Amino acid sequence: MDAVRLKGVRTHNLKNIACVIPHYRLTVVTGVSGSGKSSLAFDTLYAEGQRRYTESLSTYARQFLDRLPRPPIDVINHVPPAIALRQKNEVSNARSTVGTVTEIDDHLHLIYTHVGVTYCPTCEIPVGRDNPAEVVDTLLQELEEGARVILVARVAPEEASQRALLLEHLVGQGYRRLYIEGQTLDVTESGVESLLDMESFPVVVDRLALRHDDRMRIAEAVEAAMGLGRGRVEVYEHRSEQPPRIFDQAFRCNSCGLDLMEPQPALFSFNSSVGACPTCTGFGKTMGVDYAKVIPNPRVTLEEGAVACFQTPKYRTQHKKLLGACRDAGIPIDIPYGDLVEEHKQYIRYGGKGYPGLAKFFKSLHQKQHRTDVRIMLARYRGYDLCEDCQGTRLHPNARNVRFAGRLISDFWEMRIEQALAFFDVLELEPSVRARIAPLLDEITHRLLYLHEVGLGYLEMGRQSRTLSGGEMQRIHLTSSLGRALTDTLYVLDEPTAGLHARDSQKLLEVLRGLRDLGNTVVVVEHDPEIIEGADHVLELGPVGGEGGGALTYQGPLSGFDLEARVDFSECEAMAARVEGPPPGQVRIVGARHHNLKDISVAIPHERITAVTGVSGSGKSTLMEDVLFNGWRRMRGQGGVEAGHFEALEGLEGFADVEMMDQSAIGRSSRSNAMSYTKAYDDIRKIFSGTQDARRAGLTMGDFSFNTSGGRCEVCEGTGTVTVELHFMADVEVPCDECGGKRFGPRVLGVRYRGKTIDEVFELTVDEAVTFFEGHAALLRKLKPLQEVGLGYLRLGQTTATYSGGEAQRLKLATYIADGRKRGETEPVLFIFDEPTVGLHLKDVSVLLVALRKLVELGHTVIAVEHNTDFIARCDHVVDLGPEAGPGGGQVVAAGSPQEVAGVAASVTGRYLRELLEARARRAS
């Protein structure tokens, strides 16, 4: 009972292995790509934990779930309920943020509901409900003992014609006096007629002296006044010119009488119809004009044409009007637009005396949208403007009236996690207030602390989840799991260090240990040496990927595991040594100042491998994707591109294209696989359709496609699975009963080439397929690059939707290697890779470096945003950003060769490079 025990595991390429995973320990599963790590951790261990949980579900649900294939295993004992935290960000909802995913927002909603103070937007005074007991306490505290007061209730008729009847009714009830301009007036003496022009009657309910021993008498008078005045009472001091103290049982301003909404959790959620801004429906932005497109380069003067939309022949007159208005208004037109004072920028945008402004110009265009040229013009400059009503806070006006510790809830969403943590650490509250929300504050602080410890302190609370990387999203889910404090649970994680700088790996290890110490069993698929060294138990699979892997090469404590096993980098180092002389040119990014970038300039050599490094949040992705890649796309005239701010991009003229090789999924379709992506499937269908079996059956190339009718199975339409809809549960995909998951009909499955049917070819790995299809040069030209990037273990029919981010990225890389085998066959391309080593063992890193070197030898240029120290040390050039994350980053800390960066004391990356290079020198000696 002290461990999960597995025997005879045969999932995918696993070779009938037996292993033990101790309970309440941190176990690392490591090995080269394709060795079977995920097959063991996710497809066996997690899948069986989930399957056993489903046995507790209803009979109706189980009748479908029983059709799911069980992991091929002889024995598996003592499996706890399982949770998988995968290295994928599948969130696409714009309403999901860091705060909502971690449930910190839910706790903030409760804090603002229970102790938030609502302020009147007009009077800026606190608003709340008053009850008689609180009114008595306030009066006795604020006024002297024995002070004489007059309690007045304002009574108004529903209609003006009823005023006389109302006065008669009040007199009949014993209320004969009104309090007008500091004087008490008897209604019976002054006459009713003289009072009929008053909108409301200030009725004197009682006059009394305030004494502590007469609380009951005062409370009864206050209660009577509130009853008569519909919950509202005015308290005047006798013979005083001070304004009255106003108390109200309703939730409204005591000064101006404005009714406000009482705080409730839904009021502070932009995902609720109660709390969302009615104008932008909780998105914070509305469709409008993107002024970054209207004025794309702030370094250009107004005279030179900073306003891009006025530079066409049709709108040149608008340009002349703008210059004339600016001269009249004293706005300089010969200095860069970005150097103008804010007042002058507002004049250009919104207009002023003698000029309507750019905003009105575009508003006038909206009225002419029936014209094609106007629609094209608007589309060119369309963007999302900050919502004018909520100013991007996303919240209903009532929610923007509530403050806690002097802040609106939207103020927390603008904070970085590290800022929010510092705020709550020094937060001072009244003891009674802190006692009411102490559990909420503790929970928020714990979650913020965990987020900071896993290296995410640079993220803003309001950051959209869909903009996060897979590694960032996984660490956020890890934090949520810690917050829920589950015990006796099996957690299976997929490379939680993805996208994490070496500096933060130790912090992540402590978080994983915290999850273990709660009483959970933690299994991590990982390559990072620091995480492996901190594990309680290690499983290594190998010795290679694909069919040659799947064996258990080590099992036991860390003490018996050899971390210093040699990895052969000799081939990529030999290729690097062949690079001679200076680079033929360079790409220069000048004046990058997007997000946290501080007006930096960076040079990247042509036909070299450059690593862009720095701690998480230092500005690497902003520089490479937002500035360089999107800037290139905008220069090429691509519409709808949100580019970062920069002064110039130089040295891109010789490139045919700039390719962003990120880790986004190639496609979520079950019909996409490595064959179809590399176009190798066309050759395979041609081979099968040319066999004697196919000709006898009258089959053509089209019949061997599972995307079109003909030879495919029409029950599952060529997918091999059918979807079963379950009530109150997610849909379940089960193998097709008609074709058994083989995708094709009997006629096609009867055709064999070299003894294999088309569905059996789908089950071949790339390595096996290269041998099987020997002699077919065109097909091998498309398959061999997959081997060169370390993807030889992939099965041809495996859907790309199941690929990891690193596998998807390397598949894209393989297609480019296949396109040009010799220098000069294709025009140079600038490749930008986002964390290409994610999911790679050190042996795989060496294979990747060789593939990238081949790209460089073909005349291409490679940039890699990277954290892996072994990879960085073998690049030609390094640009290190930092020194910290968020506002503390965005600067070039070091630039040069890996050896030069290692010598810069201020570089965090340089410190780890120095340690690695020194260790290599010791091993060499």
721-734 pLDDT, tens digit each:
887 776 555 567 78
Instruction: Give the torsion sign (CA, 404, 405, 406, 410).
Output: negative
Are 735 and 786 within one domain? yes
Cα gap 594→483, rounded to integer Å: 34
Q: CB of 518 within 8 A of CB of 450? A: no
Q: At 330, is the pLDDT very low, low, confident or very high (cuts 50, 70, 90)? A: very high
pLDDT in tens, 698-710: 999 999 999 888 8
Q: Minimal CA–CA distance to 516: which of 537, 488, 539? A: 488
- Alpha-helical segments (H) within 518-558: 529-533
Cα gap 336→297, rounded to integer Å: 9
Crossing angle of helices 417-425 and 431-453, rounded to 10°: 150
Q: CB of 803 within 8 A of CB of 528? A: no
Cα gap 842→848, rounded to integer Å: 10
398 located within any domain: no
Are 527 and 442 within one domain? no
Which residues have C-beta within 8 Å of that of residue 297, sequence separation ≥ 6? 306, 647
Give the mean pLDDT of 583-600.
94
Q: CB of 624 within 8 A of CB of 865? A: yes
What CATH number should be reported for the domain holding residue 236?
3.30.190.20
Residue, of 115 and 502, whose pLDDT is higher: 115
For the cut 80, the answer to whether the pLDDT of residue 667 exceeds it is no
Given this model, what pLDDT does residue 369 score?
A: 85
For the cut 60, the answer to whether the pLDDT of residue 283 exceeds it is yes
368 located within any domain: yes
Give the mean pLDDT of 406-425.
95
The answer to whether the bond into 543 is cis (omega within 30° of 0) is yes
Chosen domain end from 356, 386, 416: 386
Given this model, what pLDDT does residue 824 score?
A: 62
Crossing angle of helices 777-788 and 680-689, rounded to 10°: 140
Are 151 and 223 within one domain? yes
Token couple for 48 = 């069986």
821 located within any domain: no
Q: At 299, is the pLDDT very low, low, confident or very high (cuts 50, 70, 90)? A: confident
Are 138 and 237 within one domain? yes
What CATH number should be reported for the domain holding residue 782?
1.20.1580.10
Token couple for 432 = 């009674």
pLDDT in tens, 774-829: 999 999 999 999 988 888 888 899 888 777 766 787 888 888 777 665 566 678 99
The least confident of 63-72, 442-451, 587-596 is 63-72
Given this model, what pLDDT does residue 99 score?
A: 94
For the cut 80, the answer to whether the pLDDT of residue 88 exceeds it is no
The least confident of 409-413, 671-675, 746-750 is 671-675
Beta bridge partners of residue 390, listed in sequence order: none
Q: CA-CA distances (angstroms) from residue 214 to 145, 149, 209, 234? A: 11, 14, 9, 20
The number of domains in the chain is 6
pLDDT in tens, 304-318: 999 989 998 889 999
334 located within any domain: yes
Q: Is 424 left (phi over 0), alpha (psi -120 to 50) or beta?
A: alpha
Element (H, E) at 59: helix 59-65
Given this model, what pLDDT does residue 274 score?
A: 95
What CATH number should be reported for the domain holding residue 43?
3.40.50.300
Cα gap 600→585, rounded to integer Å: 20
Task: Name the residue type at position 862.
Answer: V
Given this model, what pLDDT does residue 191 score?
A: 67
pLDDT in tens, 857-872: 989 999 999 999 999 9
Q: Would you give the DSSP letter of residue 504?
A: G
Given this model, what pLDDT does residue 901 score?
A: 97
Q: CB of 494 within 8 A of CB of 525? A: yes
Are 688 and 651 within one domain? no
For 363-497, where are the E strands, in sequence order? Answer: 382-386, 402-403, 490-494
850 located within any domain: yes
Beta bridge partners of residue 892, listed in sequence order: 881
Buried b (16+ CB within 10 A) or exposed e, 674-689: bbbbbebbbbbbebbb
Are 866 and 894 within one domain? yes
Token couple for 241 = 């010119």
Chosen domain end from 415, 430, 465: 465
Beta bridge partners of residue 402, listed in sequence order: 118
Q: Would you give the DSSP letter of residue 255?
A: T
What CATH number should be reported for the domain holding residue 322?
1.10.8.280
Are 455 and 355 within one domain? no
815 located within any domain: no
CB burial class (10 A; 0-12, 13-18, 19+) of residue 638? exposed
Token couple for 244 = 């009255």
Are 588 and 547 within one domain? no
For the cut 70, the answer to whether the pLDDT of residue 655 exceeds it is yes
Q: At 226, is the pLDDT very low, low, confident or very high (cuts 50, 70, 90)? A: very high
Given this model, what pLDDT does residue 326 score?
A: 93
For the cut 90, the answer to whether the pLDDT of residue 401 exceeds it is yes
CA angle 42, 44, 49 (to 5 degrees): 85
DSSP assignments along 181-202, one per residue: TTEEEEHHHH-SGGGTT-SSEE
Q: At 66, is the pLDDT very low, low, confident or very high (cuts 50, 70, 90)? A: low
Q: Minimal CA–CA distance to 178: which of 208, 209, 200? A: 200
3-class state of residue 832 by DSSP: strand
Q: What is the pTM of this model?
A: 0.77
Task: Name the residue type at position 712.
Answer: R
Cα gap 596→641, rounded to integer Å: 20
pLDDT in tens, 117-155: 999 999 999 999 999 999 999 999 999 999 999 999 999
Share of the chain above pLDDT 90, in %: 56
Cα gap 392→400, rounded to integer Å: 12
Given this model, what pLDDT does residue 178 score?
A: 92
Given this model, what pLDDT does residue 64 score?
A: 59
Q: At 652, is the pLDDT very low, low, confident or very high (cuts 50, 70, 90)? A: very high
Which residues have C-beta within 8 Å of that of residue 220, sequence separation ≥ 6? none
Q: Give the residue numbers spanning the domain of 606.
A: 570-655+828-924
143 located within any domain: yes
Are 164 and 240 within one domain? yes
Given this model, what pLDDT does residue 297 score?
A: 79
Task: Name the residue type at position 681.
Answer: Y
φ, ψ of residue 829 to 5 degrees: the values are: -125, 140
Given this model, what pLDDT does residue 78 score?
A: 92
pLDDT in tens, 815-851: 877 766 556 667 899 999 988 888 788 888 888 899 9
Q: CB of 595 within 8 A of CB of 887? A: no
Cα gap 687→689, rounded to integer Å: 6
Q: CA-CA distances (angstroms) from residue 895 to 130, 618, 881, 882? A: 65, 15, 9, 12
Chosen domain end from 560, 593, 618: 560
Residue, of 782 and 297, whose pLDDT is higher: 782
Give the mean pLDDT of 342-357.
89
139 located within any domain: yes
Are 141 and 238 within one domain? yes
